[in-house]
Structure 1
Amino acid sequence: MLRLLGLCGAFSLALSSNTTSRSTQLYVQPHLSIGSCLDYCHFRFIPFLPCIDDIQRIANSPAEACGRGYCDAEHFELNYKTGDGVKVESRRNHVERTRVGRLSNLRELCLDERGFPVRRKCEIRNGTREWESLSNITCRAAQQLSSNLNRLAVESPPDMISRLSDLLRQSHEPLRPVDIFSIAQIFESLLEKPKKDPNVVSDLIGICLQVMATDRETLRRSAELNATNALLSNFEDYLDALPPQIVPKESCDVVAKSQSQVSGVYGVNSQIMSHMGVHALISNELSVFFVNPDCANVTGVAVYSLPTYRQDNSTSGSNVEGFGYSPLSSSESLENIRARKGLETAAFLPEQLWRELKQKGATFLVFKVYTRDSLFVETESRVRMPSSAVISISIPGMEDNSLPLKLPFFLRNGNANSTLMAGGGCGYWNYETWLSDGITTCSSSDSLDTPLDPVILCHADHLTQFSFLLGISKIQTGVDNYEDDRTLDMITNVGLSLSLVGLLAIFLTAALFRSFRRLASTKVLLNLCLALALQTLFFMDIGKGELLRRLQFTDRCLIAGALMQYFLLVVFSWMLIIGFLQFKRYVKVVGVIYPRHYIFMSALVAWTLPLVPTLLLVKLDPASYRPTQESPDMPHTVLCYPSGHGLYLGVVLPIALVTLANALMVGYISCSVYCALHTRGTHVLQQLRLFVLLFFLLGLTWIFGFCSFFQWGRVFSYLFCLTATLQGFVLFVYFIILNKDNRRAWFGLICSFKSKEEMDIVALRTQEKSAFSRTSQVSVQSSSTS
């Protein structure tokens, strides 16, 4: 993101609900109320409303009767648009028997204008159970694949998974949101079957792989139907029901021999180590591990990337699709796991934790590793995203996901320079967004002299899917926002460059013209310009990490971050002082007396007061200056800046207070000047010029920055980048170009150069004429002598 917006991005971390339960229902419906038994009546305060029960009698308990019963299967007619989209024809459709309050699929797929499936609801109407009316619906016809998948979801035949696999494998059509919706429903029907079939696991993984390969926009639209969440939840729930069949206790007595076979359809490699109680199904983007700890005390797995990983002993898994794995026992050392070469992710249950869980009835473990986060689609705006694999840990049969002790797991951060601060850290998926409560992220090093270890150790007090997350970044929001941020970066770079040129011109003017630099107001202005120039240079240079890598100090990032914080606070200190001086000038016009040496006193306060919060933060929380995150468009750069509480108290709070004070003073000054000029009938142009000057001079452009941080609209990001970066250039325009005295001084200097040049030319011509005259005289004298 842009460097000036780095302040706003650094402290944005999304924390919302802490629920970890899965959401599997498609098209979540509101709960029925008693009043809906008679939707035409609305007498909700009558304790007993008449409602017809299952046997067509008035219900004694309408609250229960409203939620019971079914709507019978029904044939009906629906209007469909033909292929040209102009003509409409009537087609016969059908819905199956459905419980009250549920939505039923139509046998012949009907799409609305967005391409989403139209479903029919069984509801209570006039005290009886009736199907929702679809008389005002005109359907769009679906593609062949979509129609076949919908028919498969409606019929739910015994071999639906193999037929689904064949449909997806044979079709060349891209998946649409309605297709993913149908696949999720097929998975749900499979989950509802009482008998679970372990032979379909490879097909389930392959189907998920095809969905994961779908483009992000389609997956995002599928999430509006809750299809991605339902698909993910049904997939994991079905796998969690299989360990008794896949890794039964009887298999532990099998002779120590590993078996491996590859599914020819999706390339899923099935590896069985019965003597260790491990059955692995591995693919390039999704792998599943079933574990029976009773066999060999294996309570976890470690997954490696190849070719870094090498098979060193017989307990390691085979190399498949660029990955290898090895089982982990409950007595493993955290240091040894982290030290393994090429480690991508690992998780295991320590001995004490597993012992306590066994006492609660735990028998099996299931691990799923997703190397892509395609199925984890946030329904709200993305504020954090995974930069590692996602590892899901579940204990079948355990109703409570909370753990008595912390569970350690490792994740490889895909952005090695990213920090654990300011939004970076391990988190979990709650089927809405990524959260971090209950998750502890451990740093591998307390010193910034060594690079951050890309393998991150985390601890969790509950079970779900885990990943290492990065804070606000352009890589989270897709291609459109990425291009949007590139535009903002360009605006920022142009604005900062113009500001530096303007500040240089102000310094040059002060150096050339004594009349300008002797003014008291100029001395204050030069202090502000110096602070602005230093702040801008640090954001443009050290913010990119160029000078940061040249520094050899042990705490080089601490120094760079503290300097950027200090210069930013100095700028705002000077803006507060200038605001106070302008207030006295325009409001208290009569009797204004400035104390002696007030400029020196102002400089002493402005340059020393910011040292207090800066040094306090350096002393009390030096770790907050760790690099906040890697820049997406410059993958090897880091931004050292305060984070966490240090950011709020050491940067945000002072800036907010100064901005608020200056805003109040600008408002008071504007009112005072308006009243004074309005009585004289003076033009409004002068008032407008003064307001614009004060708006830039006193840093009120940062109001747009705060609005952008609170996500009140993308327009505030553009306003902030357009205004805040041009502060130095605007000062140049107002104090140099629009100032009559400075304009005359520059014109005089330029004219003097021109006059001197003209005089030099005249003198040169005079010398040439004199030389020519002397030469002519000599020639004449020589002729006379002759």
Structure 2
Amino acid sequence: MLLFLWWIAGYIILVSGGTNPPLYALDQPNVARCLDYCHLKNLRFLLCVDADGQLSHNPYKDCNRGFCKAEDFELEYETDEGKEKRINRVEKTRVGQKANLRDLCLNERGISIRRRCQIRNGNRVWQSLDHVTCRSAPELSSSINLLAVKSPPDMISQLSNLLTQTQEKLAAADVFSISEIFDSLVKKPERNAAVVGDLMKICQKVMSTDNETLRVSADANATNALLSNFEDYLDELSPTILKLNTTIFANSTEFTFHPLFDMGVIVLKTSELRVFFIDPEVRNVSGIVNFSGGNMSHFEMLHLSDNEEDIRAMKNLESAVFIPEKLWTQLKRKGASYLVFKVYTRDSLFVETEEEIKRRPTSNVISITIPGLNDTKLPGKLPFFLRNAKANETQFEGGCGYWNYETWLSDGISTSGGGSLEASSHPVILCHADHLTQFTFLLGVSKMQAGLDTNEDDHSLDVITNVGLTLSLLGLLMIFITAAVFKSFRTLASTKILLNLCAALGLQLLFFLILSQSHLLEQLEQSESERCTLVGAVMQYLLLVVFSWMFIIGFLQYQRYVRVIGVNHPRHYILMSAVAAWTLPLIPTLLVVFLEPGSYRPNNSSMDYPILCYPSGYGLSLGVILPIGLITVANAILVGYISWSVYTALFKRDLIFKQLGLFVLLFFLLGITWIFGLCTYFDFGRIFAYLFCLTATLQGFVLFLYFIVFNKENQRAWLGLCCNSSKKRNQQTIQMPTDSILQGLSHSSTNSTSI
């Protein structure tokens, strides 16, 4: 109150003086006794006393006036050899803003340090960096920073070429420098449509950066700044782009331009970003629909007269948005003329910095803007459609949300089913919004909401899987060692088939165990499509090889236990089996590689999940699930038939345990455990995920137990070797465990050694 009265008194004195009050002089340091300039700029009502003791206006209005001159200065850098002093430089910068350093200086988190131009004691001065020790930056980071500092006219083209040619991963400092370059571009008065392709490629590179780097960048607001400037620049170019000559864009492996002038549509695409420019007045096109299934180019146009339910019923719909005719009529009255839709297949640029994230995007992110419309509040409801990636996981509450450049919110948006469990159980979510921004479908991940600690749940599955894989690999290794040590064992026809299965299984488990380590998965950039395709194809091929051998063994088991009499194998049946098992899986694998290469790339990776290149969509359904499903069902029928045949033909009470042992062996040997995997894939329940991880990963270990540990001949062979025994019985033919089981089950004197 006293402060307010003092301000009134001062104002009266100034007015009664009959002269204009003196303006605050920036070069008079004595006035700083009143106010340390911009430090107290929120107290705008304060009056100051100048050097002559006269009342002066508050200097707040001058806080952003003027510039700091360009300056060379010394900074201390850490190097491998120790610390050294380097000459650095800042260019002329407006008061209140920060300048990029010419020689990039990184803090302990990898964020670039900048220098602020400020006012102290009446002077425009640079912020002191005397107590700062810089970390040196890699060559790529230094090059990007230099572009941000110099801002040459062709900086976007240079940046695009730099990112396209390099194989280095982006660091947090790089994302920040790129956001600064985008900011410089937006501040320029002219708009150049020729740089749009480069902007798309740059954004794609940033989107492919690992989640931890983007999170660090988000702490400096780099991702938000980049996203906002990118969208603003494209929105302002919509009238220009819709009238462009097609030769202005050059298609490449990273960027594709689709001109549909007859429909009033221009489409710009990268692997994870699509931008649609639409003029509804040409052919009444007012929306787009994107389809899943691995084909990244599969999209269609929607029209003003389309129906919401018809759109929602479209097969393989991934995301869609359109403006109904009534709403478009109302928007035109408000100045709307064009539509711009941006579809992000990953939520990489939408980074929350909070430690606990309440809800997470599970679909594409659709950004909707209407250039020329000043009011973002819509006169009616705008419908959009999003794929629910976890439609059957009804323990999570889902709903549509929008990005406010800090977190995901849902006010002003309605979700079909009321935004409750009914909504999250439908594969396609229908949302309605009354404003414009970026939209997506969200699922709650709070432990209180879900009633299930999914992090601990997934961790338990990871532990079970890794332990099982390790035991299996050790078991397979012991089988190979046994075959290498004992010639009589490895020369058996049954052993040769077993070793082929173990080789395929060992390669598959080892490959998966290496890739399952998150720090290795993060090295696979989503922009590296060829490497991602190679990894996914190898994983698919090895899995199919394992199932091919299990099918062959299942057929041989059927001949052995059911047909028994009159079975004559071809002379080179092992070689024929090997050729079939190692080459036939190439057919579905190569079909997916050449026909659906995009299916190896994940559609939407959230922050907490590492990238895993593996078939999806039709590639997964037809190239993986269908063949292993058919083989698993066939082998399950064979196991049931063999078990029933042995039980009915040779039923004796004292042979029950041996019959049970035969069943367990065939259950693992023929991969019947994958029934649990198929049940997990079709979301039949979480319990099947645990059963699958407990059984399928132990296949190699179970084979080791049956073929090495529980086989008496193998036991004697190893004991004889360890005890340096020279008895000939250790050199005799080693029978397979199925032989010993069969001898106890059958009264036949025939002793077959085939699997």
TM-score tier (shorter) = 0.5 to 0.7
Q: Partners of 2:442 and 2:118 in 1: how far apart? A: 43
Alpha-carbon contact 2:76-2:83 (below 8 Å) kept: no
The Cα shift of 1:37 comes to: 3.4
Q: Partners of 1:359 and 1:162 in 2: how far apart? A: 39
What is the correspondence of 1:83-98 to structure 2 with a 5 Å cutoff?
Answer: 83-84=80-81, 86-89=82-85, 91-98=86-93
1:368 aligned partner: 342
1:138 aligned partner: 133
Q: Partners of 1:356 and 1:473 in 2: how far apart? A: 40
User: Structure 2 residue aligned with 1:335, among 309, 319, 324?
Assistant: 309
Residues 462 and 378 (structure 1 numbering): CA distance in 2 closer, same or farther, change over 3 Å?
same
Deviation readout 1:612-644 (Å, 9 max, x if unpaired)? xxxxxxxxxxxxxxxxxxxxx96655899xxxx
1:219 aligned partner: 214
What is the correspondence of 1:161-200 to structure 2 with a 5 Å cutoff?
Answer: 161-200=156-195
Alpha-carbon contact 2:273-2:344 (below 8 Å) kept: yes
2:286 aligned partner: 299
Residues 172 and 446 (structure 1 numbering): CA distance in 2 closer, same or farther, change over 3 Å?
closer
1:72 aligned partner: 69
Q: Partners of 1:170 and 1:155 in 2: how far apart? A: 21
Residues 36 and 179 (structure 1 numbering): CA distance in 2 closer, same or farther, change over 3 Å?
farther
Residues 261 and 345 (structure 1 numbering): CA distance in 2 closer, same or farther, change over 3 Å?
farther
Q: Partners of 2:159 and 2:50 in 1: how far apart? A: 42
What is the correspondence of 1:470-485 to structure 2 with a 5 Å cutoff?
Answer: 470-472=443-445, 484-485=456-457
| Paired residue secondary structure (2:191) | coil
Q: Partners of 2:59 and 2:319 in 1: how far apart? A: 53
1:326 aligned partner: 300
What is the correspondence of 1:213-252 to structure 2 with a 5 Å cutoff?
Answer: 213-248=208-243
Q: Does 1:428 align with 2:402?
A: yes
Q: Percent same amino acid among aligned pairs? A: 51
Q: Partners of 1:75 and 1:247 in 2: how far apart? A: 46
What is the correspondence of 1:611-626 to structure 2 with a 5 Å cutoff?
Answer: none
Q: Partners of 2:91 and 2:315 in 1: how far apart? A: 56
Q: Partners of 2:416 and 2:383 in 1: how far apart? A: 10
1:118 aligned partner: 113
What is the correspondence of 1:452-491 to structure 2 with a 5 Å cutoff?
Answer: 452-472=425-445, 484-487=456-459
Q: Partners of 1:409 and 1:280 in 2: how far apart? A: 19
2:147 aligned partner: 152
Alpha-carbon contact 1:393-1:463 (below 8 Å) kept: yes
Residues 277 and 326 (structure 1 numbering): CA distance in 2 closer, same or farther, change over 3 Å?
same
| Paired residue secondary structure (1:323) | coil
Amino acid at match of 1:79: E
Q: Partners of 1:239 and 1:296 in 2: how far apart? A: 22
Q: Partners of 1:261 and 1:413 in 2: how far apart? A: 37
Residues 35 and 428 (structure 1 numbering): CA distance in 2 closer, same or farther, change over 3 Å?
farther
Q: Partners of 1:145 and 1:273 in 2: how far apart? A: 38
Deviation readout 1:547-576 (Å, 9 max, x if unpaired)? xxxxxxxxxxxxxxxxxxxxxxxxxxxxxx
Q: Partners of 1:451 and 1:164 in 2: how far apart? A: 41
Amino acid at match of 2:436: L
Deviation readout 1:181-207 (Å, 9 max, x if unpaired)? 011111111111111111221211111
Amino acid at match of 1:350: P
Alpha-carbon contact 2:388-2:424 (below 8 Å) kept: no
Alpha-carbon contact 1:387-1:414 (below 8 Å) kept: yes
Deviation readout 1:207-264 (Å, 9 max, x if unpaired)? 111111111111111111111111111111111011110114xx8xx9xxxx899855
2:383 aligned partner: 408
| Paired residue secondary structure (1:68) | coil
What is the correspondence of 1:407-556 to structure 2 with a 5 Å cutoff?
Answer: 407-419=382-394, 423-443=397-417, 452-472=425-445, 484-487=456-459
Alpha-carbon contact 2:397-2:419 (below 8 Å) kept: no
Alpha-carbon contact 1:384-1:472 (below 8 Å) kept: yes
1:81 aligned partner: 78
User: Structure 2 residue aligned with 1:63, among 60, 66, 85?
Assistant: 60
Q: Partners of 1:127 and 1:50 in 2: how far apart? A: 13
The Cα shift of 1:93 comes to: 1.4
1:49 aligned partner: 48
Q: Does 1:345 align with 2:347?
A: no
| Paired residue secondary structure (1:460) | strand
Q: Partners of 1:409 and 1:451 in 2: how far apart? A: 15
Amino acid at match of 2:93: T
Q: Partners of 1:167 and 1:51 in 2: how far apart? A: 53
The Cα shift of 1:486 comes to: 3.9
Deviation readout 1:114-157 (Å, 9 max, x if unpaired)? 22111111112112221111111121111100000000011111
| Structure with the greater alpha carbon radius of gyration | 1
Residues 373 and 276 (structure 1 numbering): CA distance in 2 closer, same or farther, change over 3 Å?
same
Alpha-carbon contact 2:34-2:49 (below 8 Å) kept: no
List gaps (5 residues or longer) in structure 2. 1-31, 465-678, 687-755
2:360 aligned partner: 385
Q: Partners of 1:34 and 1:277 in 2: how far apart? A: 64
Q: Does 1:273 align with 2:283?
A: no
Alpha-carbon contact 2:37-2:60 (below 8 Å) kept: no
Q: TM-score, normalised by structure 1?
A: 0.51
The Cα shift of 1:418 comes to: 3.8
Residues 306 and 129 (structure 1 numbering): CA distance in 2 closer, same or farther, change over 3 Å?
same
The Cα shift of 1:104 comes to: 1.0
Alpha-carbon contact 2:41-2:60 (below 8 Å) kept: no
Residues 50 and 303 (structure 1 numbering): CA distance in 2 closer, same or farther, change over 3 Å?
farther
Q: Partners of 1:345 and 1:338 in 2: how far apart? A: 10
Amino acid at match of 1:357: L
The Cα shift of 1:47 comes to: 2.5
| Paired residue secondary structure (2:153) | coil
User: Per chain length, whose mean CA-contact separation is higher, i.e. which structure has more relative contact order (CA < 8 Å, sep 6+)?
Assistant: 1
Q: Partners of 2:97 and 2:457 in 1: how far apart? A: 43
The Cα shift of 1:40 comes to: 9.6
Q: Does 1:397 align with 2:372?
A: yes
Q: Partners of 1:303 and 1:389 in 2: how far apart? A: 10
| Paired residue secondary structure (1:341) | coil
Residues 303 and 485 (structure 1 numbering): CA distance in 2 closer, same or farther, change over 3 Å?
same
Q: Partners of 2:106 and 2:357 in 1: how far apart? A: 28
List gaps (5 residues or longer) in structure 1. 1-32, 308-320, 493-632, 641-786
Q: Which moved more, 1:148-157 or 1:381-390?
A: 381-390
Deviation readout 1:759-779 (Å, 9 max, x if unpaired)? xxxxxxxxxxxxxxxxxxxxx
User: Structure 2 residue aligned with 1:103, among 98, 101, 109?
Assistant: 98
1:578 aligned partner: none
Alpha-carbon contact 1:51-1:62 (below 8 Å) kept: no
Residues 50 and 101 (structure 1 numbering): CA distance in 2 closer, same or farther, change over 3 Å?
farther
| Paired residue secondary structure (1:209) | helix
| C-alpha RMSD of the superposition | 3.8
| Paired residue secondary structure (1:205) | helix
| Paired residue secondary structure (2:315) | coil
